[in-house]
Amino acid sequence: MLFYVLFGILLLLFEGIQRICLNVFGYNAHKKSVGLVNGLFLVCLSVLGTIFHFRIAGEIPKNVPIIIVSNHQSLWDIPPIIWFLRKLHPKFISKKELGKGIPTVSYNLRKGGSVLIDRKNPVQATREIKKVAEYITETNRSVVIFPEGTRSRDGIPKKFHRKGLITLFENAPDAYVLPISINNSWKLQRYGMFPIPMFTRLTFYVHPAIKVSDFDSEGLIDKVEVLIKSRIISAGK
DSSP 31-97: HHHHHHHHHHHHHHHHTTT-EEEEEE-SPPPSSS-EEEEE----GGGHHHHHHHTGGG-EEEEEEGG
Q: What percent of the chain has pLDDT over 70?
A: 98
Nearest one of 177, 172, 175 to 225, comparing CA atoms: 177
Instruction: Name the helix (H) or strand (E) containing 211.
Output: strand 210-211
Q: What is the pLDDT of residues 63-90, one digit of tens each?
A: 999 999 999 999 999 999 999 999 999 9
Map residue 182 onto helix, strand or coil. strand
Q: Is the peptide bond before 195 cis (omega within 30 degrees of 0)?
A: yes
Query: pLDDT by residue (tens digit) across 125-144?
Result: 999 999 999 999 999 999 99
Question: Which of 8-17, 161-170, 185-194 has the lowest average pLDDT?
Answer: 185-194
Give first-to-last CA distance, the chain, whole Å.
28
Asked if residue 1 has pLDDT above 90, the reply is no
Q: Read off the pLDDT band of 234 (50, 70, 90).
A: low
C-alpha closest to that of 196 among 10, 20, 11, 46:
46
CA dihedral over 114, 118, 124, 130, signed as positive or negative: positive
Which tens digit of pLDDT belongs to each residue from 174-195?
999 999 999 999 999 999 889 9
pTM given for the model = 0.96
For the chain, how long is the longest CA-to-CA vector? 50
The identity of residue 4, as a single letter, is Y
CB neighbour list of residue 155: distance below 8 Å, 6 or more residues apart:
73, 183, 184, 186, 187, 232, 233, 234, 235, 236
